[in-house]
Chains A and B, each alone.
Chain A
């Protein structure tokens, strides 16, 4: 690994660490407790950035899937796949933190409103992405099929949201912060979003590099065995 890359990776890691510590401090110490929901409301500062990162990661998968089908270089596929894996993890977290927050606040674990339904369908689509890659008969095919699913699946997301939103406008159940969102809350939220996005970038860079190196090793092994 070249020195420049090591330096960049470590700088990124350091930045991520600082941001996360700052975020944790702000969430647990700095920001005042919300009036109606109490302490549980602090999940909001994790839940929203995680949801944002999951959407971002699937968007990245979408873009890099297109790039891969166009240019056919394995590195684009590695980024797309790494992003989808991270996205599935983050979407799983969204689907876990959401109900944990919902139960004390709404009294129910789950409801079929637009955002939750879309998150669930998103999770299902990208789990299918990972499954198709692992069930493909060769890696090149897996990459191709994965790219197709990455494109087709992402286009579905706004459609699902639209359909379920229309379905559920008869039963609005959005969370209302009484007294609005104050400045400390907004600040904390922004710091958390930046911290989690940095985490995503760190994970993406590491994971994608690992996959690229893995592909290189396989290629070299193939060349050695062929002799």
Chain B
């Protein structure tokens, strides 16, 4: 068991080291996500105390499309210098490669969310300390990362590389988006737990199902 974690961590840390040294990836996605919020503010004439549902929706669109832009990169880097073949030469189960990449995707999306959410809360004049929002975001990001990592591996090997990822990714994560938006709205309004738990259950169910399915199916995607 320890072995598996070590291997996953090795793949994960490789990606982290590259990112820490080059710093190119996270910053560009961050800037993009912030720009999204700005555009939405102009497009929807955001006022400080807008309705919760609209605010909730805007946050999740910003996070989703930031994710879409980012996931393209997850496996695109592996195409250079035959790095994916190098990874596959490692004597590990293919699904370990998936989990290593998944950890990287999760951290990347978390980094985006950590920056974007406070800016969003400030723009909408909402309370900054919202632990429930943090919970919803973490759970939803697990789902995004699970699906995004898998489809990133699929999309980079096709001809219409950049557009293929959103086309694959967005329909599949509709349940997460619906549940996350509906769960976030009462949290932003400061309401009680109530319905939120049901929505969280949907997100958790999605996460578990897709983590399992993607783990099983990943080896078919990257085989030569």
Interface residues of A (CB under 8 A from B): 69, 117, 121, 124-125, 127-128, 131-132, 135-137, 141, 144-145, 147-149, 151-153, 155-156, 159-160, 162-164, 166-167
Contact B171 A163 (CB under 8 A): no
Contact A156 B175 (CB under 8 A): yes
Q: Does B202 contact A (CB under 8 A)?
A: yes
Contact B202 A163 (CB under 8 A): yes
Contact A155 B213 (CB under 8 A): yes
Contact A135 B213 (CB under 8 A): no
Q: Decide if the interface of chain A is mainly helix, strand, loop or mixed.
A: helix
CA distance A214 to B148 in the complex (A): 34
Hey, which chain A residues are within 8 Å of B160, CB to CB?
131, 135
Contact B202 A166 (CB under 8 A): yes
Given contacts A144-B220, A159-B206, A135 and B158 within 8 Å (CB-CB): yes
Residue of B nearest to A156 (CB): B172
Q: Does B55 contact A (CB under 8 A)?
A: no
Q: Does B154 contact A (CB under 8 A)?
A: yes
CA distance A125 to B170 in the complex (A): 9
Hey, which chain A residues are within 8 Å of B199, CB to CB?
166
Interface string of B71-87 (1 = CB under 8 A from A): 00000000000000000
Q: Does B68 contact A (CB under 8 A)?
A: no
Q: Does B179 contact A (CB under 8 A)?
A: yes
CB of B74, distance to nearest CB on chain A (Å): 16
CA distance A144 to B206 in the complex (A): 24
Contact B172 A132 (CB under 8 A): no
CB of B207, distance to nearest CB on chain A (Å): 11
Given contacts A132-B164, A135-B164, A149 and B174 within 8 Å (CB-CB): no
CA distance A167 to B57 in the complex (A): 14
Chain B: interface size category: 20 to 34
- Beyond the given A159-B205, A159-B209, please list 15 additional residue pairs across the A-B interface where CB-CB is below 8 A: A125-B171, A127-B167, A128-B167, A131-B167, A135-B164, A136-B157, A136-B158, A145-B158, A148-B154, A148-B217, A152-B210, A155-B209, A156-B171, A163-B179, A167-B182
Which one of A121, A151, A166 lies within 8 Å of B174 (CB-CB)?
A121
Residue of B nearest to A151 (CB): B217
Hey, which chain A residues are within 8 Å of B220, CB to CB?
69, 144, 147-148
Hey, which chain A residues are within 8 Å of B221, CB to CB?
144-145, 148
CB of B53, distance to nearest CB on chain A (Å): 11
Hey, which chain A residues are within 8 Å of B170, CB to CB?
124
Hey, which chain B residues are within 8 Å of A69, CB to CB?
217, 220
Contact B205 A151 (CB under 8 A): no
Q: Does B28 contact A (CB under 8 A)?
A: no
Hey, which chain B residues are within 8 Å of A124, CB to CB?
167, 170-171
Q: Does B191 contact A (CB under 8 A)?
A: no
Q: Does B150 contact A (CB under 8 A)?
A: yes
**Can you list 15 residue pairs at the A/B interface with Cβ under 8 Å?**
A69-B220, A124-B167, A127-B167, A128-B167, A128-B171, A132-B158, A135-B158, A137-B158, A137-B159, A145-B158, A152-B147, A153-B171, A156-B174, A160-B174, A163-B179
Residue of B nearest to A142 (CB): B158
CA distance A199 to B164 in the complex (A): 32
Contact B168 A151 (CB under 8 A): no
CA distance A166 to B209 in the complex (A): 19
Contact A167 B157 (CB under 8 A): no
Contact A153 B172 (CB under 8 A): yes
CA distance A147 to B170 in the complex (A): 18
Which one of B168, B214, B217 lies within 8 Å of A128 (CB-CB)?
B168
Q: Does B48 contact A (CB under 8 A)?
A: no
Hey, which chain A residues are within 8 Å of B174, CB to CB?
117, 121, 156, 160, 163-164
Contact A163 B175 (CB under 8 A): yes
Contact B178 A164 (CB under 8 A): yes
Q: Does B6 contact A (CB under 8 A)?
A: no
Hey, which chain A residues are within 8 Å of B164, CB to CB?
131-132, 135
CA distance A152 to B216 in the complex (A): 11
CA distance A166 to B197 in the complex (A): 12
CB of B172, distance to nearest CB on chain A (Å): 5
